[in-house]
Structure 1
Amino acid sequence: MTGYYDYVLGLVPVTLVGITAVLAAVGVGYLTAVSVGAAAAALVVGHAMFVNGPVAPEESGSVRSASDHGPVNAD
């Protein structure tokens, strides 16, 4: 079953190579094209990490509230 992070892993190289190739084909300098492609790939990774970040699945039956913990020792 293909999930969100599988698509992200596939989209990173496609974004990098695709944007670089398109920009290079229209006459943008190679260094600029690679930089823009890498920035776009970094945005995809950033979205996967910070906007739609992975979370650990909660275990059923072990719901804990803040009152279950003892006092915090701040020393």
Structure 2
Amino acid sequence: MVLEMQKVLAGEPEEEQDPLNVVREHCEQSEKCVRAREKLELCETRVNSRSQTEEQCVEELFDFLHARDHCVAHKLFNNLK
């Protein structure tokens, strides 16, 4: 709060960040999200290394999004004004 007031008083433009993006970035650093992202990246690497495959990494993507959104759901409303 003090830093924000100093910026306003100094005439600096105030940058507003979307609380959802801030919480998502924080949650992506959690252990569950890191493991889910690693699995997703391994799948993407495997799929991209093949010329013909039907695999699409949908399950890994959903696992990552579920882990991140589960974390966000518990933290987002604490950060809203």
Q: Assess same fold via TM > 0.5.
A: no
Larger radius of gyration: 1
In terms of fraction of residues, the more helix-rich structure is 2
Q: TM-score range by the shorter chain?
A: 0.3 to 0.5
Structure with more contact order per residue of length (Cα contacts < 8 Å, sep ≥ 6): 2
- TM-score (ref. length: structure 1): 0.39
- TM-score (ref. length: structure 2): 0.37
